[in-house]
Amino acid sequence: MELKLKPSESYLKQLSFFRVIIALFCIFQAMAIYPNLLELYGANGMINSEIGDAFISNVLIRPNIQNLYPYLSPYLSAELFSYLVFYIYVLFLLLLTVGYRVRLFSALSWLFHLILINSALHFNYGVEQFTKICLFYCVIMPTGYFAAISKKVINETKNDLIPFISVKILQFHLCIVYFFGGLGKIKGTHWLNGEAIWRSIEQPQFQQFDMSWIAAYPLVLKLLGLFVVFIEISYPIFVNIKKMRGIHLILVIILHLNIAIFMGLRYFAAIMILFNLSAYGYSYLSAFSHQFINRILSVMNKYKRILKNVFATPNIQNYD
Amino acid sequence: MHHFKKMEKKIILFIAFAVLHLSIVLLNALGINSLTQKTLNKLYLTYCTLSGTDTKYGYFSPNISDDFDVVYTLYKREMVDRKFRLKMKNEECRQRLYTMYNYFYRIEESRDLMARSLAFGVLKNYPDCSKIKIELFLYQLPTTRQYQNKAKAYWELFYSTEFELN
């Protein structure tokens, strides 16, 4: 049996799309953190980094601002060093976005992201984990073949399995994420009796609007909780059935949009949506963008014809 | 021919990496986050930390945890000078602050150390104050049924400590 593959070019485009949107996401996320950078990630931040060290003491290397600063302390203040690390990180991300020396700058962006997040372990939530995963994938996967200044030449369009395997890694990883996310939820009671939705929209940490009126509709809360569990557990099945993929992706995106709107976890929601679009939604986006561009071109052509007729030089005949 | 052989090797290596990496993702998701052999374990944990595979993806599960807040009271010559909550510049930074409070609440072993770190971090900004009280409050949200029966949410003191500069 022969394994039918799309030409690797389309996978390479998909991976390049992944690189660009992840790098852009990281830039926006960095901008959001910037106003409280020193409190969160500073060499003299809010929480002593040694407390964080106790959490992961059993690793070989853990680069962070506090460990690196002593080497430069004679030349720079702690604040300046923290800002410097941050600015270099953003610079590397910009170079990664435009695709300059992609492998090198994805590795450096990943390294500087590690330095930043290791400097403030207590402040990191799910968004950091997924950013780290995505940047790591940018390092190991061929993400620099399209939308890149330093364009690489594709020389094994049909035989090279690496882009295909890379996309499958992204997809399989997401399947594990959602399946185990859903499985964890059914171990408790909150998601099955609807209290999870109530608590996540009514607790001050997440509350964005006053939604207390929803307590009068426990059945709605219960159905919403079960819907979330269903979406997550069934993700590996439906997203891998071609006919169901589109609908399931839309449902997952709706789920994350709700997390952004009602819980305020905008960046977490954004990276999950982008990860999904890169792994499973690229063909839809690509088809949509082609349709969109074609429609714009046809409208432009139509108006071009009309304008051409209006401004056409009249054929003046000389009757003399 | 030579080039083809080189490519084949590259693909085999990449497939091996993919299988190993996804197995590690799966093992972590299953909660197997350490190995018995010491050196191998250190390598395994380092790889997991660097690649971001060191997670079980159990966000908001099995249940939604309690909500909490931290109130700081500063004293100037034994008199209350000010009482406040830390404010961050935007929603994203605020979420991070609450992630840190989550550790503060959940991990009893490091609670005193974190309180000390927070206390001195805050006192640094108020040099004329010499004493600080840190209080961790839990938010007691009624269930939907209790809420329908007119129960109200309230803050309950969970932990309190004081630090004084000599």
Residues A84 and A185 in one domain: no
CA–CA distance, A273 with A12 (Å, rounded to integer): 20
pLDDT at A320 over 60: no
Strand-pair category, B154-164 with B67-76: unpaired
pLDDT, tens only, A51-87: 766 666 678 888 888 888 889 989 999 899 999 999 9
Give me the pLDDT at residue A133, please.
97
Q: Is B148 close to A114, i.e. CB distance below 8 A?
A: no
Residues A5 and A153 in one domain: yes
pLDDT at B7 over 70: no
Of the candidates A160, A183, A206, which is a domain's last residue? A160
pLDDT at A44 over 80: no
Residues A152 and A22 in one domain: yes
Q: Between B66, B91, B144, which is nearest A198 by CB? A: B144
Q: Between A56, A59, A199, which is nearest B64 by CB? A: A199
pLDDT, tens only, B125-145: 898 998 999 999 999 999 999
Our CA-based measurement puts residue B101 at a distance from the nearest CA of chain A, in whole angstroms, of 8
Residue type, A319: Y
* A285 and B CB contact within 8 Å: no
Residues A26 and A55 in one domain: yes
User: Domain locations in chain B?
Assistant: 2-51, 67-164
Q: Between A47, A191, A218, which is nearest B100 by CB? A: A47
pLDDT, tens only, B21-50: 999 999 999 998 777 777 888 899 999 999
Residues A69 and A98 in one domain: yes
Q: Is B22 close to A266, i.e. CB distance below 8 A?
A: no
Split into its structural domains, chain A has a count of 2
* A126 and B CB contact within 8 Å: yes
Higher pLDDT, B59 or A171: A171
Q: Is B121 close to A140, i.e. CB distance below 8 A?
A: no
Residues A150 and A12 in one domain: yes
Kindly list the distances between the CA atom of residue A101 and the CA atoms of A106, A134, A145, A300, B29, in Å, as whole numbers in the listed order. Answer: 8, 18, 11, 37, 34
**Which chain B residue has its CA at the smallest distance from A268's CA?**
B92
* A91 and B CB contact within 8 Å: no
**Which chain B residue has its CA at the smallest distance from A135's CA?**
B51
Residues A100 and A226 in one domain: no
Q: Name the token pair of A46.
A: 């809010």
Residue to substitute from B30, B50, B108, B113, interface A, most A β-carbons within 10 A: B50
CA–CA distance, A277 with B166 (Å, rounded to integer): 57
pLDDT at A120 over 90: no
Within-domain flag for A81? yes
Residues A29 and A129 in one domain: yes
Q: Is B100 close to A194, i.e. CB distance below 8 A?
A: no
Give me the pLDDT at residue A2, please.
46
* A256 and B CB contact within 8 Å: no
**Which chain B residue has its CA at the smallest distance from A42's CA?**
B121
Q: Is A33 close to B92, i.e. CB distance below 8 A?
A: yes
Give me the pLDDT at residue A313, please.
62
Q: Is B26 close to A176, i.e. CB distance below 8 A?
A: yes
Residues A145 and A5 in one domain: yes
CA–CA distance, A154 with B6 (Å, rounded to integer): 16
Q: Is A122 close to B103, i.e. CB distance below 8 A?
A: yes
Measured between beta carbons, the chain A residues lying within 8 angstroms of B29 are 176-177, 179-180
pLDDT, tens only, A248-298: 999 999 999 999 999 999 999 999 999 999 999 999 998 998 888 888 888
Q: Which domain covers residue A259, as residue numbers?
A: 172-295
Sheet holding B67-76, edge to edge: B79-84, B67-76, B131-140, B154-164
Q: Is B49 close to A200, i.e. CB distance below 8 A?
A: no
Give me the pLDDT at residue B33, please.
79
Q: Is B93 close to A195, i.e. CB distance below 8 A?
A: no
Give me the pLDDT at residue A193, please.
94
Measured between beta carbons, the chain B residues lying within 8 angstroms of A194 are 144
Q: Which residues contact A139 (CB under 8 A, 6 or more apart)?
A: A103, A106, A107, A110
CA–CA distance, A208 with A262 (Å, rounded to integer): 6
**Which chain A residue has its CA at the smallest distance from B115's CA?**
A47
Q: Between A56, A160, A264, which is nearest B49 by CB? A: A56
Residue type, A23: A
**Averaged pLDDT for residues B82-109:** 92
Q: Name the token pair of B19.
A: 């299988």
Within-domain flag for A310? no
Measured between beta carbons, the chain A residues lying within 8 angstroms of B51 are 132-133, 136
ipTM: 0.90
Q: Is A32 close to B93, i.e. CB distance below 8 A?
A: yes
Residues A155 and A15 in one domain: yes
pLDDT at B2 over 80: no
CA–CA distance, B22 with A172 (Å, rounded to integer): 8
Judge residue A210's burial from the number of C-beta atoms within 10 Å of its C-beta, 0-12 exposed, 13-18 middle, 19 or more buried.
Answer: exposed
Is the preceding peptide bond at B62 cis, omega within 30 degrees of 0?
Answer: yes
Q: Where are the alpha helices (DSSP H) in chain A?
A: 8-33, 37-41, 49-53, 65-72, 78-98, 102-118, 126-140, 162-186, 190-193, 195-202, 218-233, 235-238, 242-263, 266-279, 282-310
Give me the pLDDT at residue A52, please.
67
Q: Which of A47-61, A63-77, A212-226, B111-125 has the highest mean pLDDT?
A: A212-226
Strand-pair category, B67-76 with B79-84: antiparallel
Within-domain flag for A302? no
- pLDDT, mean over chain A: 89
Per-residue confidence at A310, pLDDT binned at 50, 70, 90? confident
Residues of chain A above pLDDT 70, percent? 90
pLDDT, tens only, A86-99: 999 999 999 999 99
Residues A212 and A156 in one domain: no
Within-domain flag for A180? yes
pLDDT, tens only, A123-142: 999 999 999 999 999 999 99
Residue to substitute from A53, A153, A205, A219, interface B, most B β-carbons within 10 A: A205
Concatenating the DSSP letter of every residue in chain B gives -HHHHHHHHHHHHHHHHHHHHHHHHHHHHTT----SSHHHHHHHHHHHHHHT------TT-SSPPPEEEEEEEEEETTEEEEEE----SSHHHHHHHHHHHHHHHH-HHHHHHHHHHHHHHHHHH-TT--EEEEEEEEEEPPPHHHHHTT---EEEEEEEEEEE--
Residues A83 and A155 in one domain: yes
Residue to substitute from A180, A231, A272, interface B, most B β-carbons within 10 A: A180
Q: Name the token pair of A72.
A: 């430069």
Within-domain flag for A283? yes
- pLDDT, mean over chain B: 90
Of the candidates A95, A126, A160, which is a domain's last residue? A160
Our CA-based measurement puts residue B79 at a distance from the nearest CA of chain A, in whole angstroms, of 25
Residue to substitute from B40, B60, B108, B140, interface A, most A β-carbons within 10 A: B60
Q: Is B100 close to A177, i.e. CB distance below 8 A?
A: no
